[in-house]
Amino acid sequence: MSMLVVYLADYPQYLPTVAGWVYGEWGWEMPGSTLESIQAEFSLHLNCDRIPLSMLALVEGQPAGSASIFVHDMDIRMDLTPWLAAVYVLPEFRGNGIGSQLVRAIENAVTRLKLGRLYLFTPDRAAFYARLGWSVLEIVEYRHRSNVIMTKSMQEVA
């Protein structure tokens, strides 16, 4: 299986695909969001040299997953920035290390941008991120469920 992680900015034709994944997976958690509003938000992610940005996993040249860096991802913790967010791998490609490679690619992008530290939140994937070197910062109630806020210093990545 040939896999490549690239900037979404270099493959803007896949912006609707990524927006569709995000809307399908998390749209229900974002009151008032539509596929169009998420696509408009992700159109701001077509960057390589600043945040927000998104990365895309291509398997045999076809989109298989994505991950992003948001300036803010949790409105109850506006003091924390930037955030790893919207990590998604198509179900048929899960279990092949694509999610881990996307996270590492985002970490490397943050290191290149000299942003220092990255945050994320997850209701159910803390063990996955812990295996990748992330630490629990706190547990909070957000969007009507318990979520783990995790963090990682990008000095550890360099």
pLDDT tens per residue, the chain (158 residues)?
799 999 999 999 999 999 999 999 998 888 889 999 999 999 999 999 999 999 999 999 999 999 999 999 999 999 999 999 999 999 999 999 999 999 999 999 999 999 989 999 999 999 999 999 999 999 999 988 999 999 999 875 55
| CATH 3.40.630.30 for domain 3-153 | yes
Cα angle, residue 153 at apex, residues 55 and 41 outer, rounded to 5°? 35
Q: What is the 3-state secondary structure (H, E, C) of 82-138?
A: CEEEEEEECHHHCCCCHHHHHHHHHHHHHHHCCCCEEEEEECCCHHHHHHCCCEEEE
Segments making up each domain of the chain, as ranges: 3-153
> Whole-model pTM above 0.75?
yes
